[in-house]
């Protein structure tokens, strides 16, 4: 999976939004598949129009680090999942809570080029990831 820095550089290189949408779809295709059993109501992200599932795994490090798996039934949304995972996965819970996802998404130009429903879904994913980070910190305390 590319890093968020790689994705940002690629977005800057691709000037046309049709190319950026195709790139988002490619990013989504590169996500590892979630096990079918994990595509359940407990892992579903609320607030997304498309189906989105998210799993977080926390290690035993201090501070805890989280890794995420994500899935969607929509191509562009699956790409947005990939962007969110590139931004957050593998980071400490504290880093996740401090990360300014809105600024990153603004740098990519996502706010201006996503439908309101997709933007809301992206915010819901970020909220879920940050909630998981808060729970990981609380469990480690």
Token representation of residue 33: 């598949």
Alpha carbon separation from 102 to 113, 124, 126 (Å, rounded): 14, 12, 9
Tell which residue, 86, 74, 66, has the closest CA to residue 134: 66
In which residue are the tokens 């309101």 written?
Answer: 116
Can you say how many angstroms the Cα of residue 50 is from the centroid of all Cα atoms in its chain? 14
In sequence order, what are the beta bridge partners of 58? Answer: 66
Indicate which residue of 24, 27, 48, 114 is catalytic. Answer: 48
Token representation of residue 85: 């995972």
Residue 62 appears among annotated catalytic residues: no
**Residues tagged active-site:** 48
């Amino acid at each position: 999976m590319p890093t968020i820095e790689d994705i940002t550089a690629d977005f800057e290189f691709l000037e046309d939004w049709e190319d950026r949408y195709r790139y988002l779809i490619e990013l989504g295709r590169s996500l590892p598949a979630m096990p079918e059993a994990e595509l359940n109501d407990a892992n579903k992200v609320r607030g997304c129009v498309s189906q989105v599932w998210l799993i977080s795994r926390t290690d035993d490090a201090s501070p805890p680090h989280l890794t995420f798996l994500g899935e969607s039934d929509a191509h562009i949304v699956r790409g947005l999942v990939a962007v969110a995972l590139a931004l957050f996965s593998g980071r400490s819970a504290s880093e996740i809570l401090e990360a300014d996802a809105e600024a990153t998404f603004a740098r990519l130009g996502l706010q201006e080029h996503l439908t309101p429903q997709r933007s809301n879904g992206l915010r819901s994913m970020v909220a879920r990831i940050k909630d998981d980070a808060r729970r990981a910190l609380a469990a480690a305390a």
